[in-house]
A and B are shown apart, each in its own frame.
Chain A
Amino acid sequence: EAQVTQNPRYLITVTGKKLTVTCSQNMNHEYMSWYRQDPGLGLRQIYYSMNVEVTDKGDVPEGYKVSRKEKRNFPLILESPSPNQTSLYFCASGRGQTISYNSPLHFGNGTRLTVT
């Protein structure tokens, strides 16, 4: 089954403790991206990647890191999490190197992160 898989689904951690949220897609997609979803703010892009070893900042990259060493994986790293990073995180992938009419995004089922 074609899918985007995120792990873990739920994560509770403390301020300053480094964590990684994994994302993997099995569709051989070029493009991958991370979004966070907050009440009243909607979905906002954190980082995206158009190809292996190519990443770029989205609208809210502060406090996050990403890497794209393999096509299928795009982990999100929080080096020193803070309470304002408590949110619902989504990974997405797309067939082309960019999003386009013919290449919509496919989303994972989310990771709910709580930082205390």
Chain B
Amino acid sequence: EDQVTQSPEALRLQEGESSSLNCSYTVSGLRGLFWYRQDPGKGPEFLFTLYSAGEEKEKERLKATLTKKESFLHITAPKPEDSATYLCAVQGAGNTGKLIFGQGTTLQVKP
């Protein structure tokens, strides 16, 4: 069964304190791993898609990496506006019609 586990559940950082969020997955035939950001009261906002082990994507202070078993979302020198819940999702070859989401990591960056 396809499964996604994110850790930690919650993370508090000081502004400028870099860290990483983890997304571990088991899926039969990865067709894509997706990172989303969700702000309170809003829908998930697409950040990155990764497909191949070793692939990396960057956007401002965020960098996503992928191995065969997990993905990391690295946050470099975060700012308070980076505070949000970050969701990881995978799509497997067994069902191209849906994403399997993790529970998310809620990040709080204090000034």
Chain A contacts to B: CB under 8 angstroms: 4, 31, 33, 40-45, 48, 50, 56, 58-59, 90, 92, 98-102, 104-110
Contacts and interface: CB of A to CB of B under 8 A. Distances in A.
Nearest to A98: B96
Contact of B43 (A59, A98, A100, A110): A110
Interface residues of B, number: 23
Given A40-B103, A99-B32, A58 B46 contact: no
A100 B31 contact: yes
Interface in B53-111: 87, 89, 91, 96-99, 101-104
A90 B99 contact: no
A105 B36 CA distance: 10
Contacts of B97: 31, 33, 48, 50, 56, 58, 98-99
B51 A105 contact: no
Contacts of B22: none
Contacts of B16: none
A48 B101 contact: no
B46 A90 contact: no
A21 B16 CA distance: 42
A42 B104 contact: yes
B101 to A, nearest CB: 4
A43 B43 CA distance: 11
Contacts of B42: 109-110
B34 interface: yes
B98 A109 contact: no
Nearest to A91: B43
B45 interface: yes
Contacts of B87: 42-43
